[in-house]
Amino acid sequence: MVAPSSFGNKEDHQIVGCLHMGHLHLPTTHTNCHNNGKMVIGSSKKVVANQLDEEKRVCALVVDDDPLVRKLHQMFLNRQGLDADVAENGKEAVDLFASGMNYDLVLMDMEMPVMDGPKATRELRAMGVTSMIVGVTGRGVEADKAAFMAAGLDDCIDKPLNGGAIIAMLDELAKKVL
């Protein structure tokens, strides 16, 4: 168990929020999550032994049609101690949830073939999915962003993602769950 007093600065506290969330009994089954045994914390690069139960690890799903973007977003999430599965389009994401998988956080690209972000988000919400869904959009039309939010997003951020945006998202997730 990681004690908050062992962290010195504010940034670490933000990550600690996430770790604490990981200790809660989240109503999810992470059958696909791997127990890596290590967790890297932000810029301080402390490696903390992962003592979290596999069931309780925070899991994310990256939904994007571009393999480069999937790899990048997965890496940003891994860096914050999250396991991340990937899906190539909205339909794959919906199928994953329908098959019984559950994720605490979904990064949903807006424009994708087969099924786009807004449609997938609407379907997930209609299925009763309460995970945090964050839309990822290229800089563009405000109306599109608003329509995407209206589909049921918790938040919407611009591509490309960076470390800071991920940390801010995890703070929000921690607040949602705690």
Partner 1 sequence: MEVDQLQRSFLEYTNSLFRFLDGQFGQLQLLQDESNPEFVFEVVSLFFEDSERILNDLTLALDQQNVDFKKIDAHVHQFKGSSSSIGAQRVRNACIAFRNFCEGQNVEACRRCLQQVKQEYLLVKTKLEALLRLEQQILAAGGVIPMLDS
Check residue 113 for interaction with partner 1 (CB under 8 A): yes
The vertex-165 CA angle with 104 and 111, nearest 5°, equals 70
CB of 67 to partner 1, least distance (A): 6
Total residues binding partner 1 (CB under 8 A) = 22
Find the shortest distance in angstroms from Cβ 55 to partner 1.
24
71 binds partner 1 (CB under 8 A): yes
Is 115 among the residues that bind partner 1 (CB under 8 A)? no
Under the binding rule (CB under 8 A), the answer on residue 159 touching partner 1 is yes
Closest CA to 85 of 11, 34, 130: 34
Nearest to 105 by CA among 79, 90, 83: 83
Give the one residue of 7, 76, 97, 148 binding partner 1; rule: CB under 8 A: 76
Which residues bind to partner 1, rule: CB under 8 A?
38, 40, 45, 64-69, 71-72, 75-76, 79, 111, 113, 138, 159-163
